[in-house]
Amino acid sequence: MSRRLGATSVFVALALVLVFVGTSARAQATLTVPGSHATIQAAINAASTGDTILVAAGLYAERIDYLGKGLSIVGAGVGQSILDGQMQGSVVTIANSEPLGTRIEGFTIRNGLGSLFQLDPASNPLSLGGGIAVVGYSPIPQPLPNLEVKNCRIENCALQGSVLYGGGGGIGVHRAMKVSVEDTEIRNNFGEGIHGNLVVDLRVSRSVVESNVGSGVRVWSSSRLTMTQCRLAGNSSGDGAGLYLSDGFPYSHTVTGCEIVDNVVTTGTGSPSGGGGGIYLSGTTTRVENCLIARNSGPFLGGGIYQTGVSPGGPNEFDLVGNTIVDNGAVLGGGICTGIGLRLANSIVRDNLGSEDIYAFNSFNNAILVSLKNSNFDPARLKVNTAANLVLAGNIDLPANFVDPVNGDYHLRLDSPCIDAGDQTLANLPGLDIDGEARVVLGDTDMGADEVHDIALHPAAAGRVGVGAGGPFAILSVNGSTGGLDRRVLAPVGSTAVVTMAQPPQLSGPRSFAIFALLDRPRLSYVINVPLGIGDMAFAPCPMITLLFPYLFTFTNNFGPDPCGEFVPSTPTPWSSPPGPAIPFPLTISLQGVIEEAPGVYVPTNLVTYEVR
C-alpha cells in the first residue's frame, strides 16, 4: 500500500513539474505592428512577459500601457516610429510592477500630457511623466516596476496644471526598482526632462537632456542616480536647472564624464534668489568627476554648483574630481557655493562671474572640511567665511589655456599648465576622462575634465637627434616650420609644400636619412620601438607594419633601395624637396625621419604633421 502511494505521489509530482516546465518554457513570441496587430496597444494586450513587439516606421497616434508585462517594444528608430499622445495623457505607462527586462527602444515619443496618478491614499493625484510614466504605489502591495529606455527621443511633452517640477515632463518615475535611460534625447518638454523619486537604481548614460522648462534631471527622496557621459544643456528651473539632487539617504549619487552647460535658474524655490545653475545638491552624498560645468547661471548662489542641506541619516559628502568649472555666474560663488564643505581635486575652477569662484560658508554651525588639492584656481577668489578646516595642497593659479573657450572648446592646449599637474595617486581616480580616453598618460594626469592625449607630448615626437650634445634638435620641417609645440604645420587648401631635412647642428658633413609618412595624425598608441637601436618613433616606418597601416609609405630614402618605394628622391643632408603640387582638398600627412649620426648609429628625427585645411 505504501509503495503504491509512493508511486502515485511521484507520478503526480512529475506531472506537476511537467506542467510547470511546459508553462514556463513557453516560447517567446514576436508580434508585429501593423503586421499581426493594428495598434501597439492591441499587440500588448495579446502579448505575454518575455515577448517582443516590433513596430514598423509610421505615426502611431496612441498611448500605451504595458499592463504589468515584461515586454520589449522596439521601433524602427528615432524619427521613424513615432508615438504621439495628442496631449491626452502619458504616452507610455509602466504602472503594474513590470519586471526587469521591460524595454522600449527606437521611438520618437511626443505630445504627451502627464496622466494623474493617485500615488498614495492620503495625497492628491499627481501629474507624472508626460512622455513616459513609471509608477509604483504606496503602501507597496507588489514588486516595484522596472524599465529600460534605449535610443529614443522624447519631445514636446508636459505636465498638467503648468507644473514645472515634481513630475517629469519627459520621463517621470515614482517608486521604482531599476530604470535606465541610454542613448536617448529628451528635449523641449514642459517640466523636468527626467524626474526620479524613490528610485532604487536610476541610470542615465550617453543621453542628451536639453531645452526643457524645468530641471534637466531632478532626483530626490531616497533615490540613487548614476549618470555617465550625458549632456544637460539649456534647461531652466527655479533651482538646479541642469541637475537637481536632494535627500538621497541611504543612497549616493555619481555623475561622470558629463557636460552640464548653459542652464539657467530663473526664480528661487529653495534659496533667496535661486541656486545651482548647473547642479543643486541638498542632503546628499555626491561624487562629480570628469565633468565640464560651464556657462550656467545661478543667479544668486552657485552658478556652477550649489550645495546645501544635511540629510538626517548622513553622511553628506561632496567630492569633485577632475572637473572643469568655468564661465558660470552667480552673485555668491560663481563657480561653487557650498554650505557643508567640499573635497576638490585635480580640477579647474576659474573665470566665473560673481564675487568669487569658490565660496564656502557654514550653514549649520559645525566644523566643515574644505579640501582643495592639485587644482587650478585663484586664491583671491576663494572665500571661506567660517571656521572651516581648510586644506590646501599642490594647487596652481595660472590661466588654463583652453583651445577655444569662446566657442565652447574647453580642451587643454598643449601649453596649458594644467597638463600633468594633477595627482595620479589619488584614491578612486577615474579611469577615463570626459572624452572616454585614459585618465593617466605617460604616468601623469591633468587637471580638469580633459586628459591631453596628443602625440606631441610623447618623447618619440621629439626624436633623438643630438641627444647628449644639447639635443634633441628639430631638423625636419615643412615650409620652414617644425610645427612648434604641437608639431603641427597648417596650410590652406591649394597650398604647396617643401620638406627639408637640415644638417644636424652637432655634426659636420652630409648625413644619409630616410623620411617616412603617414596619412594621419599619429595617436599615442601608434608609438613603436624600432629595432637596430633606433628606439621609439611616433609611428611604424614602412615596411614594418604595412598591412596594419595602409596609409603608410616612404617619402624619401637615400640610404639605398627602399622596399616600399619612395615618393621623391633625395640626397644626404642638407636637403629640401622641390615644391610639391598644390593640394586641392583637406589632407593630413605626418612625417618622421631616421638619420645616420655615426657609422651604424641611426636615430629618429622630430615628428611634423602637415595639415591642409
Q: Which residues of 465-475 are buried (b: 16+ CB within 10 A; e: fewer)?
A: bbbeeebbbbb
pTM to 2 decimal places: 0.86
Highest mean pLDDT among 15-29, 262-276, 279-293, 549-563: 279-293
Could you give the percent of the chain with pLDDT greater than 90?
77
Least confident range from 44-48, 222-226, 272-276, 376-380: namely 272-276
Contact 356, 461 (CB under 8 A): no
For residue 205, report the phi and psi dihedrals to the nearest 5 degrees. -140, 145
Q: Which is nearest to 153 in space by CA: 201, 87, 108, 210?
A: 108
Q: Which is nearest to 261 in space by CA: 290, 291, 237?
A: 291
Q: What confidence tens digit (pLDDT) does each residue in 432-456 have?
A: 999 999 999 888 999 999 999 999 9
Mean pLDDT of the 523-546 span? 88
Give the separation between CA 172 and CA 238, rounded to whole angstroms.
Answer: 18
Query: Concatenated DSSP letters for 565-591?
Result: -BSS---SSSEEPPP-----S-EEEEE
Least confident range from 26-30, 288-292, 415-419, 573-577: namely 26-30
Greatest CA span in the chain, whole angstroms?
Answer: 112
Query: Residue 18: what pLDDT?
Result: 32
Contact 145, 120 (CB under 8 A): no
For residue 535, report the phi and psi dihedrals to the nearest 5 degrees. 95, -160
Give the separation between CA 169 and CA 167, rounded to whole angstroms.
Answer: 7
Neighbours of 203 (CB within 10 A): 17
Contacts for 326 with CB less than 8 Å, ≥ 6 apart: 293, 294, 335, 348, 349, 350, 351, 352, 400, 402, 405, 410
Determine the residue type at 143. Answer: P
Determine the residue type at 193. Answer: G
Determine the residue type at 569. Answer: P
For residue 515, report the phi and psi dihedrals to the nearest 5 degrees. -125, 125
Query: Residue 547: what pLDDT?
Result: 52
Q: What confidence tens digit (pLDDT) does each residue in 316-366 have?
A: 678 999 999 999 999 999 999 998 888 999 999 999 999 899 999 876 656
Residues paired with residue 177 on neighbouring β-strands, in sequence order: none
Residue 16 has pLDDT above 60, yes or no: no
Q: What confidence tens digit (pLDDT) does each residue in 75-126 have?
A: 999 999 999 999 999 999 999 999 999 999 999 999 999 999 988 777 788 8
Determine the residue type at 317. Answer: E
Residue 134 has pLDDT above 90, yes or no: yes
Polymer length of the chain: 613
Query: Residue 22: what pLDDT?
Result: 41
Mean pLDDT of the 140-166 span? 87
How many Cα atoms occupy the beta-carbon half-sphere of 460 within 13 Å?
22
Least confident range from 145-154, 163-172, 277-286, 335-344: namely 163-172
- In what helix (H) or strand (E) does residue 208 lie, and over which residues does it extend? strand 208-210
- Residue 253: all three cell numbers together: 549619487
Residue 15 has pLDDT above 80, yes or no: no
Residue 23 has pLDDT above 50, yes or no: no
Read off the pLDDT band of 371 (50, 70, 90). very high
Query: Residue 442: what pLDDT?
Result: 86
- In what helix (H) or strand (E) does residue 256 lie, and over which residues does it extend? strand 253-256
Query: Residue 247: what pLDDT?
Result: 84
Give the separation between CA 407 and CA 556, rounded to whole angstroms.
Answer: 40
Contact 275, 238 (CB under 8 A): no
Contact 525, 536 (CB under 8 A): no
Q: What confidence tens digit (pLDDT) does each residue in 201-246 have?
A: 999 999 999 999 999 999 998 899 999 999 999 999 989 999 999 9
- Residue 42: all three cell numbers together: 492591441
Mean pLDDT of the chain: 90
Residue 248 has pLDDT above 80, yes or no: no
Q: What confidence tens digit (pLDDT) does each residue in 484-503 have?
A: 999 999 999 999 999 999 99
Quick one: three-class SS letters along 63-82? CEECCCCCCEEECCCCCCEE
Residue with cell 539649456: 234
Query: Residue 9: what pLDDT?
Result: 39
Give the separation between CA 83 and CA 39, rounded to whole angstroms.
Answer: 11
Query: Residue 365: what pLDDT?
Result: 58
> Please, is 376 exposed, middle or buried when counting C-beta atoms within 10 Å of its C-beta (0-12, 13-18, 19+)?
buried
